[in-house]
Amino acid sequence: MINIALDGLSGSGKGALADGLAKKLNLIHLDTGAIFRGIACGFLDLGFTDPTNEEIENNINSINVSVKIEDGKQLVYLNSENITPNLRKEEVSKLSSKVSIHSVVREKYLQIVNTFANNYDCIIDGRDITSIVLPNADCKIYLTADENVRAKRRYDENVAKNIPCTYKEVLENLKERDYRDTHRDIAPLIIVPDAFIVDNSNLSIDETIDICYKYIASKLGLEV
């Protein structure tokens, strides 16, 4: 199996980069953030907008999230319902970052991801892939960008999807997520020593894909 691990800050373009590399390398892209978002949707469906530790522990087993690859695309199901269109809502994004720090949630997530990686040539992106999920990955990449650039990207995405928000709200939410992701007690976002670091503040997605593809090709002995 070929496993490529990709970590990075919110809004850095991990998903687009992973999609582009998956196509060039004929790999399956598993977006682990979507798994946490699916779990967050589960709590929201149960009426928990800000669940306590006890509420998370008592209800996690009633949330059944699964990932399916259909026509080359990743779909997330919650209790047999396709909830993929709901995953990028701001309330889901905010709650997913909060619930992901809990050990019972991460245990469920790790089971899903590890099974996937053991059965497919894949590229997986998230925040603890290089450090916790795939510490022995064939290639490790860390993607970053200036916070204002990342906030503008996320704001433009929301506008295109008719998701109501302001740039200020998106920026503040992004800052909060950055802090939580890098300071959480369980599996914080870090840069591992053997990661290939790419700052794409001034790069297009195509340029970012090209740089990372060349790195992977050199690691795996592929033709550029």
What pairs with residue 82 in β-bridges? 77
Check residue 115 and give its pLDDT. 80
Does 73 map to a domain?
Answer: no
Tens of pLDDT, residues 113-124: 888 898 889 999
pLDDT at 81: 96
The confidence band for 203, taking pLDDT boundaries of 50, 70 and 90, is very high
Identify the helix (H) or strand (E) that includes residue 6: strand 3-8
Beta bridge partners of 70: 73
Residue 201: inside a domain, yes or no?
yes
* Residue 186: closest CA among 125, 127, 145: 127
pLDDT in tens, 36-53: 999 999 999 999 999 999
How many folded domains does the chain comprise? 1
Q: Which of 175, 178, 154, 176 is nearest to 166 (CA)?
A: 154
pLDDT tens-digit series, residues 162-174: 999 999 999 999 9
Q: What share of the chain is helix, strand, coil (3-state, %, to 5)?
A: 55, 15, 30
Burial of residue 212 (CB within 10 Å: 0-12, 13-18, 19+) is buried
The band of 187, judged by pLDDT with boundaries at 50, 70 and 90, is confident
Q: Identify whether 52 is part of a domain.
A: no
How confident is the model at residue 151, as a pLDDT? 96
- Token digits for 53? 């530790």
Distance CA 92, CA 78 (A): 14
Please indicate whether residue 44 or residue 127 has the higher confidence score (pLDDT).
Answer: 44
The answer to the question of residue 44 being in a domain is no
CATH number where 101 lies: 3.40.50.300
Mean pLDDT of 123-140: 94
Token readout for 167 is 């740039």
The answer to pTM > 0.85 is no
Distances (CA, A) of 105 to 6, 59, 82, 108, 185: 21, 10, 20, 5, 14
Whether 101 is in a domain gets the answer yes
Q: Are the C-beta atoms of residues 20 and 143 closer than 8 Å to each other?
A: no
The percentage of the chain sitting over the pLDDT mark of 70, rounded to a whole number, equals 100
- What residue numbers bound the domain in which 209 lies? 3-30+89-217
Distance CA 214, CA 9 (A): 22
